[in-house]
Chain A
Amino acid sequence: MELIELRNIFKIYHLGEMDLPVLKGVSLAVAKGEMVALMGASGSGKSTLMNILGCLDRPTSGEYWLDGREISGFSLNQRAWLRNRMIGFVFQNFNLLPRTSALENVMVPLSYAPKEVPERHMRQRASELLKLVGLADRMDHQPSQLSGGQQQRVAIARSLVNSPTILLADEPTGNLDSHTSEEILQLFQHLNREEGLTIILVTHNPGVSDYAQRTIHIRDGLIENGLQPQGRPEAALPFSGGAP
């Protein structure tokens, strides 16, 4: 059973009179527990595909099966619920709330959970995750007091706080130096292997895609290669450091 399955997804933007097709029939599948890199040059439709995968946007046509449900027809509020329960986002520019402590930043998604979570549990859960990403001693720091790598760790903790099934990372290392990038990517790998989290990395950096089990290339709104999932090629990973 695939966790994500896209079938013939089209996305067409209407710019005045002109129709601008960005995705021209994308089909792909991602299995549970995979770590996939989505690569493509800018303008290839990579971000659009990412937005559709993240339920931020709806395809013009095509089917999107997520965890056994066809969700391309979901309403605004239903998609908000999906994003809250099933998807964690990590952004290139972190998108942390300014002048808000790391702990409270991590708690943000919890406050939109459909079920009321007591404040105490929220704090406990957030601090657990900050420990997981190695920021146990930075909980009360505000984003401006944290380095880029630390901010991205906070963002990762935030994306995990609702125990999502998919983690979508959009150029997660785009604003980081190479050393910090490596740390962050190893953290992703760790999460993928130890927690069994499905991760989709969107990037144009081949160095990043090396961490993924599979790379999907997209060009001009179409998938070029890497279409088929490769089962569980753990042994075939080119990089084996980081995780024990």
Chain B
Amino acid sequence: MKSYRTFKTALRALRRNVMRAGLTTLGIVIGIAAVIAMMEIGNGSSIAIQRTIASMGANILLVMPGTAASSGISFGAGSAMTLTPQDATAILKECPAVAAVAPVVRARAQVVYGNKNWVPMSIYGTTPAFLVVRDWTDMAEGDPFTDRDVRNASKVCLIGQTLVRELFGGQSPIGKEIRVHNVAFKVIGVLQTKGANMMGMDQDDILLAPWTTIKYRVTGTSVVTNQSVGSAETNSTVNTLSQIYPNSQQNLYPVPSAAQQADTPLPIRFANVDQILVSAQASEQIPEAIHQISVLLRERHRIHAGESDDFTLRDMTEITKAMTSTTSMMTKLLLCVALISLVVGGVGIMNIMLVSVTERTREIGLRMAVGARPGDILRQFLAEAVVLCLIGGVVGILLGRGSSILVTAILHWPTAISLTAIVMAVVVSASVGIVFGFYPARKASRLDPIEALRYE
């Protein structure tokens, strides 16, 4: 009750000079508004930056088959043929920390359109989930292929911007047919520009097709992996290189024509993929995802305890590090700005409170003469400062919210409402009031009533 009375007295005193109270609190209003707007805009851009970095692959895990070795000769990373598309489906189904999974079959082949040809850096056979994993779902033109295309091994593909430039010279490639290894693919979509990756490799130099199509129609067999692309004996009638450098292998059966080949893919019993791309639910969940995947794959591949994995899991530590450091830098930067503006606001409050104490010396003297104890005076002036700051804080929050909404509406900057910022703003403005109001209030409470009453 006592505090309520002090609060009322403070409000009454502030109401006596509304203009000044308003101007005094303006410092806090601007400070808090700046903090809120900064936090929200900063939060928004930080989320946007995180998303961008994530699209570079911060959340991505790479599952590669292990190393095959023969007579002590290792064939290097990814040479074992142990990963299957079924592994990919199982990972998606059974690992809760995983958001999306895409098996990838790689190939390297010449792509021909009209009189132009080009060898893309990467030809990936995959599923539509690949676009989700790589955060590439927005197409520049056309539509992505579907799971149905994957099941049917449809001869459709998506191409990157570099291919569009090299093969089509800027024309729209949608609906056109390009030939990959003499297999005609219909271009149904164009991927958006992604630029170079962290290693400087052009990510737009890419062709995406259903993995079944790449596996069974382009690289040719279900047994031979893409590692040896180009030696596909099945296309020997068309592939001029094969005629110049004939395979040593003898053809026991009449060689089917290319059209026959393409139309009748060999029945699949076992198919292996070159790698599986996995995206975690969030970058913090990567370690969890790694654990879940390795447990699952060990089980699926029947690896006993004590035996080493027949696959390797890799995450993008470098990118993740960059991401966390960026985020924490942003936060620290914002905190600095916030602190500076609040200190400036607080000094403004202190300044005006000091002026106010001097100006109201007579009032203080009178209050003391009629029975106010030094503590009462201290409380009253402290309450005035805190009330000023709290009002400033509330107005500042509204103003900050308003301006961040305005910024979103006009400049289309991403903003995100920050509850912590609001709570912090209230707490901070109250404590600014206490900290910067204390000195003037103490000064007021230490006045000698006799001197104060005589003060002109």
Q: Are B376 and A112 closer than 8 Å at their CB atoms? A: yes
User: Which A residues are CB-close (under 8 A) to B450?
Assistant: 51, 56-57
Among the listed B365, B375, B449, B453, which residue makes an inter-chain contact with A77, where contact means beta carbons less than 8 Å apart? B375
CB of B16 closer than 8 Å to a CB of A: yes
User: Which A residues are CB-close (under 8 A) to B449?
Assistant: 56
Bound together, the chains give a CA A56 to CA B367 distance in angstroms of 12
CB of B70 closer than 8 Å to a CB of A: no
Given the known inter-chain contacts A97-B16, A99-B17, A100-B12, please indicate yes or no for A91 contacting B370, CB distance below 8 A.
no
CB of B366 closer than 8 Å to a CB of A: yes
User: What 0/1 pattern do residues 95 to 126 of A give for CB contact below 8 A with B?
Assistant: 10111100010001101110010000000000
CB of A221 closer than 8 Å to a CB of B: no
User: Which A residues are CB-close (under 8 A) to B362?
Assistant: 95
Q: Are B2 and A116 closer than 8 Å at their CB atoms? A: yes
CB of B433 closer than 8 Å to a CB of A: no
CB of B146 closer than 8 Å to a CB of A: no
User: Which B residues are CB-close (under 8 A) to A153?
Assistant: none
Q: Are A111 and B9 closer than 8 Å at their CB atoms? A: yes
CB of A85 closer than 8 Å to a CB of B: yes
Among the listed B5, B370, B374, which residue makes an inter-chain contact with A116, where contact means beta carbons less than 8 Å apart? B5
Bound together, the chains give a CA A104 to CA B17 distance in angstroms of 16
Q: Are B17 and A83 closer than 8 Å at their CB atoms? A: no
User: Which A residues are CB-close (under 8 A) to B16?
Assistant: 97-100
User: What 0/1 pattern do residues 349 to 381 of B give for CB contact below 8 A with A?
Assistant: 000000000000011011111111111100000
**Which has the most chain B C-beta neighbours within 10 Å: A81, A95, A111?**
A111
CB of A41 closer than 8 Å to a CB of B: no
User: Which A residues are CB-close (under 8 A) to B17?
Assistant: 99
User: What 0/1 pattern do residues 135 to 179 of A give for CB contact below 8 A with B?
Assistant: 000000000000000000000001100100000000000000000
**Which has the most chain A C-beta neighbours within 10 Å: B369, B371, B376?**
B371
Among the listed A51, A81, A97, A104, which residue makes an inter-chain contact with B371, where contact means beta carbons less than 8 Å apart? A81
User: What 0/1 pattern do residues 1 to 42 of B give for CB contact below 8 A with A?
Assistant: 110010001001000110000000000000000000000000
Given the known inter-chain contacts A56-B450, A57-B450, please indicate yes or no for A80 contacting B12, CB distance below 8 A.
no
Q: Are B373 and A77 closer than 8 Å at their CB atoms? A: yes
User: Which B residues are CB-close (under 8 A) to A116?
Assistant: 1-2, 5
Distance of B371 from chain A, by nearest CB (Å): 2
User: What 0/1 pattern do residues 392 to 412 of B give for CB contact below 8 A with A?
Assistant: 000000000000000000000
Bound together, the chains give a CA A60 to CA B450 distance in angstroms of 16
Number of A-B contacts (CB under 8 A): 69
Q: Are A112 and B1 closer than 8 Å at their CB atoms? A: no
Q: Are A83 and B2 closer than 8 Å at their CB atoms? A: no
Q: Which residue of B lies closest to A91 (CB)?
A: B453
User: What 0/1 pattern do residues 189 to 225 of A give for CB contact below 8 A with B?
Assistant: 0000000000000000000000000000000000000
Q: Which residue of A lies closest to B454 (CB)?
A: A47
Q: Are B367 and A108 closer than 8 Å at their CB atoms? A: yes
Q: Are B12 and A89 closer than 8 Å at their CB atoms? A: no
Bound together, the chains give a CA A101 to CA B59 distance in angstroms of 68
CB of A127 closer than 8 Å to a CB of B: no
User: Which B residues are CB-close (under 8 A) to A54?
Assistant: 369
Q: Which residue of B lies closest to A100 (CB)?
A: B16
Bound together, the chains give a CA A87 to CA B162 distance in angstroms of 94
Bound together, the chains give a CA A116 to CA B4 distance in angstroms of 11
Among the listed A57, A76, A100, A112, which residue makes an inter-chain contact with B370, where contact means beta carbons less than 8 Å apart? A112
Distance of B378 from chain A, by nearest CB (Å): 12
User: Which A residues are CB-close (under 8 A) to B365?
Assistant: 95
Q: Are B369 and A162 closer than 8 Å at their CB atoms? A: no
Bound together, the chains give a CA A194 to CA B370 distance in angstroms of 23
Given the known inter-chain contacts A56-B449, A56-B450, A83-B369, please indicate yes or no for A76 contacting B374, CB distance below 8 A.
yes
Q: Are B370 and A89 closer than 8 Å at their CB atoms? A: yes
Q: Are A111 and B5 closer than 8 Å at their CB atoms? A: yes
CB of A72 closer than 8 Å to a CB of B: no
CB of A181 closer than 8 Å to a CB of B: no
User: What 0/1 pattern do residues 41 to 66 of A give for CB contact below 8 A with B?
Assistant: 00000000001001011000000000
Bound together, the chains give a CA A97 to CA B370 distance in angstroms of 13
Bound together, the chains give a CA A81 to CA B17 distance in angstroms of 29
Bound together, the chains give a CA A11 to CA B5 distance in angstroms of 37
User: Which B residues are CB-close (under 8 A) to A81?
Assistant: 371, 373
**Which has the most chain A C-beta neighbours within 10 Å: B362, B370, B449, B450?**
B370
**Which has the most chain A C-beta neighbours within 10 Å: B363, B373, B453?**
B373
Q: Are B1 and A95 closer than 8 Å at their CB atoms? A: no
Bound together, the chains give a CA A2 to CA B161 distance in angstroms of 107
Of residues 242 through 296 on chain B, the ones whose CB sits less than 8 Å from some CB of chain A are none
User: Which B residues are CB-close (under 8 A) to A108?
Assistant: 366-367, 370
**Which has the most chain B C-beta neighbours within 10 Å: A77, A83, A158, A162?**
A83
User: Which A residues are CB-close (under 8 A) to B374?
Assistant: 76-77, 80
Q: Which residue of A lies closest to B4 (CB)?
A: A116
User: Which B residues are CB-close (under 8 A) to A162?
Assistant: 370-371
Distance of B230 from chain A, by nearest CB (Å): 94
Q: Are A83 and B453 closer than 8 Å at their CB atoms? A: no
Given the known inter-chain contacts A83-B370, A116-B5, please indicate yes or no for A95 contacting B453, CB distance below 8 A.
yes
Q: Which residue of B lies closest to A75 (CB)?
A: B373
Distance of A20 from chain B, by nearest CB (Å): 15
Q: Which residue of B lies closest to A51 (CB)?
A: B450
Binding site for A on B (CB under 8 A): 1-2, 5, 9, 12, 16-17, 362-363, 365-376, 449-450, 453
What 6 additional pairs, Cβ within 8 angstroms, besides A56-B369, A84-B372? A56-B449, A56-B453, A81-B373, A83-B370, A97-B363, A112-B372
Some 11 contacts from A to B, beta carbons below 8 A apart, are A77-B373, A77-B374, A81-B373, A83-B369, A85-B371, A97-B363, A97-B366, A100-B16, A111-B9, A112-B372, A112-B376
Pairs of residues from A and B, 8 with the lowest C-beta to C-beta distance, nearest first: A84-B371, A109-B370, A99-B16, A112-B371, A80-B373, A95-B366, A77-B373, A112-B372
